[in-house]
């Protein structure tokens, strides 16, 4: 569209224009014009301005108001060399021209003097004569402004001299001056008119024309921005007027002229709009079309395609309302108009946008989005038309855009009227309505073009929407595979963000398409997804799809896996193991079926994860899942104890399976504490009641059949502790005991190839007990072992038992032994003491004979009750004799067997029995093992058993509800509270327990036996030493007494292999006490000795004191360190009476001299002085006999 140009008139009386025209047009358009507005506007620069040259005419017809083509500048070309002719005629002519010009408002004028080649500019040399140019200047220049220009004619060589520059500049000045004046004029006028808005008779149209004049003025000067502002202001005031309902002059809505429905909205010359406005006859439709067209025109001039599209959107929606509200004379007017408007605008904007994008690709996404919006809008018109004319079904999404209210109204009011209307005039649409092929082509073209636009502008969701429409379109055209392909690839995008309503709308189509295509699997997947969003489905639909699901689920070939939620919801996972209601541990889960119909499922299973075993599955088969809440009790083939995390839940319908993972991030772990099924097979492993130290140790395994009939089974015990090794043996001897009638018999358990012990058939209430030996470190007092039993019950179900627990290994007593050899017997002293801090009751003891020794004498006491406290020692002495007769079945070592019971086990057994009774009363017996384990650890470890041993009462002071609660976790609240209350009550009642109480509760005190192997030497080199004195009852002091040391190596203790005449060297040593004895002879002597031989060594002893004096001890050592020699000293601890000498002495203590004499005699005495003096000083008469 051509824009307006600035008009300049010229008056060419002298025919110079042809000479100048080329020159001038080469300098056009004018460049760099500066507008310095006189009011409140910043300086504007106009880069380039096109100018329209027109010949001036005198026909002074008054300028119509509507004309916008007012000249800005009037030129008068003068070519006159002659002063006279100037004075005569030219001046007058100019004057006449000027008179006309100056009457015109806001128009500048300029006189152009065109000089001939010889004409000189300016004054003559002498200044006598003034030139014509000077004269003109003098005559016509008013004020300061120089409105005269001097030009040389075009043929001149100096054509491009400064004259031309001057001329152009003055032209620019002139244009700007007159422009500024015009702007000011318009602004003043509009402001005045605007102020009168409230006055009666004010006319919007007049105002519009006036203001638009300003806009035109700006437009002429290529100041499009300014111009657009004027239109925007006009639009705003239009709406203002509209709101004030002062639009009396818009009598009719309009838009009813032929072709209005398809005309180009951007064409503002389609109708004589300005005239219509001026005449106050314009319709609202036309007026707004015109206003919009003008705005778009300016926007496109400003190269703003994005804004154009955006404004178009708003304009179209505004107009939609107007058109809708009025009955248009053309059928499908609205659709046709919107479609035309959209396509027109896109067509206009497209080239500009592509052009702009080469310089600035950033605008493309935004433009594409706006464009795509318009295209989609156009396509929606196709939707509506398609539905109306039967090209598309009357269903979503095609009928989505049809206003139901309007439609029904129309259908109601005008059944026949419809035909009266003219057909729409948009050719393309008419074609589409007539031909389905054209319709389809257009539909697809618009959609794909819109998708392309959205894709380029990153509007994924809008593109998705269009894709969905295409799929629906394909579906309507029964191109099911295409529809299914598109839908398959996109529906999840809605589902992903929970737009299930839309997803469902698409899925319905997808499901139907897949069904028609015969893709059962895909069909079912669609149905499942639909059912997933069942909350958005109507109940009939839900039922329909459920039926579809059920009908098809059996025909599936592959498996389909789906999430539980939201079709099914699992909740409330609770253990039910009280045996009043169930016969084995059950897990009760609640499945909420959101489908409106009952379903029959094959299997519902719940997987738990824990330690031993790592996985347990609880399941239930072949049940019906009703609509709504369902409760199922799941059971397991595995009996296990411990804490288990609920991992997954599976629901199986044929090939279709639903899974729910409980271990999702963010969700709390659901932990269940399982107890062993106490009524099923149960395995107990403990330290055996009788322990023999020094041998390989055993675990005592007891397998209880519970209330099960077991056909066969296997059992495996494996180690979980470091260093503990459980070697396999070929077979085990076991006792099979009927618990009810206490009968038992021995059976042999075989071990199969894989190392498992085979279990025999068991009936209810039977127990198999056997020992399994192990190798492990001695100092450990706990081993962790795993026991696992797999078995088949009589009714054929395969079950298993798992447990992994600590087995306490206690040796609460220690013994030390020592032995003393006699001539033909040995005395054994055994000292027993507590090993640790817990007192033990010794209930009996005995010494078991060995192959070497028989017990000649022992005090067997079976019914002892001796409490042995720590740091106390109990001593047992036995006399042993060498085994005489057959020694066949006896052990090689003597064993000291203690029957005992620690006070701890006594107390604990008592409390446990009490607790068990208590729990069973409340039907909570299944928790005993778990609770006991913790109670023992937490509350009973503080009991002072020494105190109990002394006072015979237990004080359980320590009860902490918080601790108690901590081990009761992972059960349902009811069970937890029940147990907590129960335990608390139990401890309140049993804070002090007496021994009799305990014994009453647990009358059969489980006796434990410890068997200690003792080291009694088998053989020794035993020397019998006898000191033979002449008189072994008395002797005299200071008198030598000659004796004989008789040493004999005893044959009784000689080891059998050393019978041959090997002699070895020994040393005897008399350890005389020199205070009492003087010894003469060999105090220490090495001698060679042989079994059975007697050696005699003479010694002399002199007693130094009187009284009963022990004989000096004698020992025999072996020279070589390899032979252990012991001595049997017959005279050991024998005392001999030492008498004084058998002389009498009378002393008279009269004179001093006597002492002196006596001293002299003392010197003569050959014996020691001290001895003599003492003897003298005793002053006692002694009669020495003999």
Contact residues: other proteins, CB under 8 A: 239, 242-243, 313-314, 316-318, 320-322, 324, 338, 366, 369, 373, 377, 380, 396-397, 399-401, 403-406, 454, 457-462, 464-465, 494, 497-499, 501-502, 505, 666
Edge-to-edge strands of the sheet including 1084-1089? 1084-1089, 1064-1070, 1114-1118
Tell me how far, at minimum, the Cβ of 765 lies from other proteins, in Å.
Answer: 51
Cβ closest to other proteins, residue 404 vs residue 974: 404
Angle at 471 between CA 468 and CA 472, to 5 degrees: 90
Burial 639-670 (b: 16+ CB within 10 A, else e): bbbbebebbbbbbbbbbbbbebebeeeeeeee
Give the C-alpha separation, 716 to 697, whole Å. 18
Tell me how far, at minimum, the Cβ of 210 lies from other proteins, in Å.
Answer: 23
| Contact call for residues 548 and 528 (beta carbons, < 8 A) | no
Strand-pair category, 697-704 with 766-774:
antiparallel
Cβ closest to other proteins, residue 452 vs residue 881: 452
Cβ closest to other proteins, residue 401 vs residue 603: 401
Angle at 907 between CA 903 and CA 909, to 5 degrees: 115
Tell me how far, at minimum, the Cβ of 499 lies from other proteins, in Å.
Answer: 6
Cβ closest to other proteins, residue 558 vs residue 665: 665
Give the C-alpha separation, 267 to 286, whole Å. 11
For 1019, how many CA atoms within 13 A lie in the half-sphere containing its CB?
A: 12
Residue with token string 């618990």: 739
Q: At a CB cut-off of 8 Å and minimum separation 6, what does 567 contact?
A: 528, 531, 532, 534, 593, 594, 595, 658
Tell me how far, at minimum, the Cβ of 533 lies from other proteins, in Å.
Answer: 12
Backbone angles phi, psi at 852, to 5 degrees: -90, -40
Tell me how far, at minimum, the Cβ of 465 lies from other proteins, in Å.
Answer: 6
Tell me how far, at minimum, the Cβ of 756 lies from other proteins, in Å.
Answer: 49
Query: Which DSSP string do the residues of 974-1001 spell out, in sequence order?
Result: HHHHHHHHHHHHHHHHTSEEEHHHHHHH
| Contact call for residues 520 and 505 (beta carbons, < 8 A) | no
Cβ closest to other proteins, residue 455 vs residue 997: 455
Give the C-alpha separation, 651 to 741, whole Å. 46
Burial 907-942 (b: 16+ CB within 10 A, else e): bbbbbbebbbebbeeeebbbbbbbbbeebeebbbee
Cβ closest to other proteins, residue 324 vs residue 1086: 324
Distance of CA 276 to the CA centre of its chain: 72
Cβ closest to other proteins, residue 373 vs residue 677: 373
Cβ closest to other proteins, residue 526 vs residue 903: 526
Tell me how far, at minimum, the Cβ of 494 lies from other proteins, in Å.
Answer: 8
Cβ closest to other proteins, residue 533 vs residue 756: 533
Backbone angles phi, psi at 486, to 5 degrees: -65, -45
Give the C-alpha separation, 314 to 336, whole Å. 17
Give the C-alpha separation, 665 to 950, whole Å. 58
Cβ closest to other proteins, residue 569 vs residue 851: 569
Tell me how far, at minimum, the Cβ of 321 lies from other proteins, in Å.
Answer: 5
Cβ closest to other proteins, residue 392 vs residue 956: 392
Edge-to-edge strands of the sheet including 1040-1049? 1077-1081, 1094-1103, 1040-1049, 1021-1028, 1125-1129
Q: At a CB cut-off of 8 Å and minimum separation 6, what does 899 contact?
A: 842, 843, 844, 845, 1007, 1008, 1009
Tell me how far, at minimum, the Cβ of 505 lies from other proteins, in Å.
Answer: 5
Tell me how far, at minimum, the Cβ of 239 lies from other proteins, in Å.
Answer: 5
Q: CA 539, 542, 544, 546 torsion: positive or negative?
A: negative
Nearest to 546 by CA among 486, 591, 513, 593: 593
Nearest to 1067 by CA among 1095, 1037, 1102: 1095
Tell me how far, at minimum, the Cβ of 166 lies from other proteins, in Å.
Answer: 51
Cβ closest to other proteins, residue 235 vs residue 965: 235
Backbone angles phi, psi at 57, to 5 degrees: -125, 155
Cβ closest to other proteins, residue 343 vs residue 1127: 343
Tell me how far, at minimum, the Cβ of 457 lies from other proteins, in Å.
Answer: 8
Q: CA 832, 838, 843, 848 torsion: positive or negative?
A: negative
Tell me how far, at minimum, the Cβ of 704 lies from other proteins, in Å.
Answer: 47
In the chain, what are the helix, strand and coil shares in percent, each to the nearest 5? Answer: 35, 30, 35
Tell me how far, at minimum, the Cβ of 749 lies from other proteins, in Å.
Answer: 56
Tell me how far, at minimum, the Cβ of 496 lies from other proteins, in Å.
Answer: 9
CB count in 10 Å sphere of residue 610: 20
Tell me how far, at minimum, the Cβ of 399 lies from other proteins, in Å.
Answer: 8
Cβ closest to other proteins, residue 287 vs residue 853: 287
Cβ closest to other proteins, residue 505 vs residue 903: 505
| Contact call for residues 298 and 272 (beta carbons, < 8 A) | no
Give the C-alpha separation, 133 to 86, whole Å. 10
Backbone angles phi, psi at 292, to 5 degrees: -65, -40
Tell me how far, at minimum, the Cβ of 238 lies from other proteins, in Å.
Answer: 10
Cβ closest to other proteins, residue 497 vs residue 824: 497
SS3 267: coil
Query: Which DSSP string do the residues of 151-216 spell out, in sequence order?
Result: EE-TTSTTTTSHHHHHHHHHHHHHHHHHHHHHHHHHHHHHHHHHHGGGSTT--HHHHHHHHHHHHH
Tell me how far, at minimum, the Cβ of 620 lies from other proteins, in Å.
Answer: 29
């Amino acid at each position: 569209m051509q824009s307006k140009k600035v008009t300049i008139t010229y008056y060419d009386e002298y025919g110079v224009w042809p000479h100048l025209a080329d020159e001038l047009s080469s300098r056009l358009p004018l460049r760099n014009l500066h507008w310095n507005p006189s009011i409140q506007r910043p300086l504007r620069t106009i880069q380039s301005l096109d100018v329209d040259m027109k010949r001036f005419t005198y026909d002074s017809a008054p300028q119509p108001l509507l004309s916008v083509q007012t000249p800005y500048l009037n030129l008068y070309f003068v070519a006159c060399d002659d002063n006279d002719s100037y004075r005569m005629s030219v001046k007058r002519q100019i004057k006449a021209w000027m008179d006309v010009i100056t009457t015109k408002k806001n128009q500048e004028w300029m006189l152009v003097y065109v000089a001939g080649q010889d004409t000189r500019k300016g004054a003559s040399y002498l200044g006598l004569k003034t030139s014509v140019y000077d004269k003109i200047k003098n005559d016509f220049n008013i004020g300061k402004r120089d409105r005269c220009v001097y030009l040389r004619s075009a043929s001149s060589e100096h054509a491009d001299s400064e004259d031309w520059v001057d001329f152009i500049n003055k032209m620019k000045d002139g244009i700007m001056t007159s422009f500024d004046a015009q702007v000011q004029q318009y602004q003043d006028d509009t402001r005045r008119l605007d102020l009168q808005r409230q006055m009666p008779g004010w006319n919007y149209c007049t105002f519009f024309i006036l203001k638009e004049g300003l806009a035109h003025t700006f437009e002429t000067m290529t100041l499009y921005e300014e111009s657009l502002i004027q239109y925007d202001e006009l639009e705003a005031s239009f709406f203002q007027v509209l709101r004030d309902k002062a639009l009396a002059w818009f009598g009719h809505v309009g838009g009813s002229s032929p072709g209005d429905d398809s005309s180009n909205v951007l064409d503002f010359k389609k109708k004589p709009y300005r005239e219509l406005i001026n005449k106050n006859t314009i319709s609202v439709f036309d007026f707004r079309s015109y206003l919009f067209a003008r705005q778009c025109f300016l926007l496109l001039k400003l190269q703003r395609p994005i804004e154009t599209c955006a404004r178009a959107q708003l304009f179209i929606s505004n107009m939609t309302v107007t058109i809708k509200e009025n009955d248009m004379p053309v059928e499908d007017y609205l659709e046709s108009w919107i479609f035309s408007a959209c396509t027109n605008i896109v067509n206009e904007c497209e080239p500009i946008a592509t052009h702009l994008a080469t310089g600035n690709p950033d605008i493309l996404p935004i433009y594409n989005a706006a464009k795509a919006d318009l295209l989609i809008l156009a396509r929606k018109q196709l939707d509506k038309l398609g539905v109306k004319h039967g090209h598309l079904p009357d269903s979503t999404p095609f009928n989505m855009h049809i206003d139901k209210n309007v439609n029904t109204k129309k259908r109601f009011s005008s059944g026949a009227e419809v035909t009266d209307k003219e057909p729409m005039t948009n050719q393309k649409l008419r074609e589409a309505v007539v031909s389905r092929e054209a319709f389809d082509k257009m539909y697809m073209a618009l959609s794909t073009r819109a998708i392309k636009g959205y894709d380029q502008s990153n509007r994924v969701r809008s593109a998705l929407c269009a894709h969905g429409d295409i799929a629906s379109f394909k579906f309507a055209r029964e191109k099911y595979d295409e529809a299914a392909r598109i839908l398959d690839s996109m529906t999840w995008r809605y589902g992903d963000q929970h737009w299930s309503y839309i997803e469902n709308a698409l899925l319905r189509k997808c499901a139907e398409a897949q069904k028609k295509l015969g893709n059962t699997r895909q069909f079912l997947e669609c149905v499942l997804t639909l059912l997933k969003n069942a909350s958005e489905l109507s109940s009939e639909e839900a039922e329909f799809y459920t039926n579809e699901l059920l009908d098809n689920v059996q025909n599936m070939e592959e498996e389909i896996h789906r999430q539980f939620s939201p079709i099914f919801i699992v909740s409330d996972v609770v253990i039910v193991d009280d045996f009043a209601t169930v016969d084995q541990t059950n897990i009760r889960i609640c499945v909420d079926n959101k489908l409106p119909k009952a379903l029959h499922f094959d299997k519902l299973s719940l997987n738990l994860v824990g330690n031993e075993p790592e996985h347990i599955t609880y399941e239930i088969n072949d049940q019906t899942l009703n609509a709504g809440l369902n409760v199922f009790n799941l059971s397991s083939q595995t009996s296990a104890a411990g804490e288990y995390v609920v991992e997954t839940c599976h629901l199986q319908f044929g090939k279709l399976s639903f899974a729910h993972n409980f271990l999702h991030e963010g969700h709390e772990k659901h932990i269940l504490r399982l107890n062993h099924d106490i009524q099923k097979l149960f395995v107990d492993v403990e330290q055996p009641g009788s322990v023999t130290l020094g041998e390989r140790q055993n675990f005592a395994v007891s397998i209880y059949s519970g209330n099960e009939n077991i056909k066969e089974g296997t059992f495996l015990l494996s180690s979980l502790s470091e260093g503990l090794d459980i070697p396999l043996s070929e077979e085990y001897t076991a006792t099979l005991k009927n618990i009810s009638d206490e009968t038992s018999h021995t059976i042999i358990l075989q071990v199969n190839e894989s190392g498992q012990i085979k279990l025999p058939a068991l009936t209810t209430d039977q127990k198999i007990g056997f020992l399994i030996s192990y190798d492990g470190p001695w100092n450990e007092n706990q081993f962790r072992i795993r026991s696992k039993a797999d078995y088949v019950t009589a009714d054929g179900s395969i079950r298993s038992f798992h447990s992994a627990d600590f087995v306490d290994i206690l040796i609460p007593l220690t013994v030390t032994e020592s032995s003393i050899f006699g001539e033909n017997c040995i005395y054994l002293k055994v000292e027993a003491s507590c090993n640790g801090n817990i007192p033990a009751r010794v209930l009996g003891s005995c010494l078991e004979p060995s192959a070497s020794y028989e017990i000649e004498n022992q005090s067997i006491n079976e019914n002892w009750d001796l409490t042995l406290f720590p740091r106390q020692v109990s001593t047992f002495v036995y006399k042993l004799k060498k085994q005489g007769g057959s020694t066949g079945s006896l052990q090689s070592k003597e064993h000291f067997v203690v029957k005992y019971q620690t006070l701890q086990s006594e107390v604990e057994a008592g409390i446990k029995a009490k607790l068990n009774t208590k729990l069973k009363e409340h039907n909570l017996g299944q928790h005993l093992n778990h609770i006991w384990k913790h109670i023992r650890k937490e509350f009973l470890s503080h009991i002072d058993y020494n105190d109990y041993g002394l006072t015979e009462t237990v004080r359980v002071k320590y009860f902490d509800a918080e601790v108690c609660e901590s081990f009761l976790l992972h059960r349902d609240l009811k069970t937890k509270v029940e147990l907590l209350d129960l335990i608390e009550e139990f401890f309140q009642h049993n804070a002090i327990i007496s021994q009799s109480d305990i014994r009453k509760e647990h009358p059969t005190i489980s006796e434990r036996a410890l068997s200690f192997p003792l080291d009694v030497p088998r053989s020794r080199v035993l020397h019998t030493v006898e000191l033979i004195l002449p008189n072994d009852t008395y002797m005299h002091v200071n008198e030598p007494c000659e004796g004989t040391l008789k040493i004999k190596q005893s044959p009784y203790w000689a080891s059998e292999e050393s019978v041959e005449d090997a002699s070895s060297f020994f040393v005897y040593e008399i350890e005389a006490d020199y205070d009492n004895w003087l010894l003469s002879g060999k105090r220490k002597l090495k001698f060679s000795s042989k079994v059975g031989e007697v050696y005699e060594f003479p010694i002399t002893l002199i007693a130094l004191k009187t009284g009963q004096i022990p004989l000096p001890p004698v020992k025999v050592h072996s020279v070589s360190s390899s032979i252990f020699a012991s001595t049997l000293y017959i005279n050991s601890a024998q005392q001999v009476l030492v008498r004084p000498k058998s002389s009498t002495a009378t002393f008279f203590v009269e004179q001093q001299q006597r002492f002196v004499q006596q001293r002299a005699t003392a010197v003569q005495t050959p014996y020691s002085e001290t001895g003599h003096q003492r003897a003298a000083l005793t002053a006692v008469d002694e009669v020495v006999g003999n």
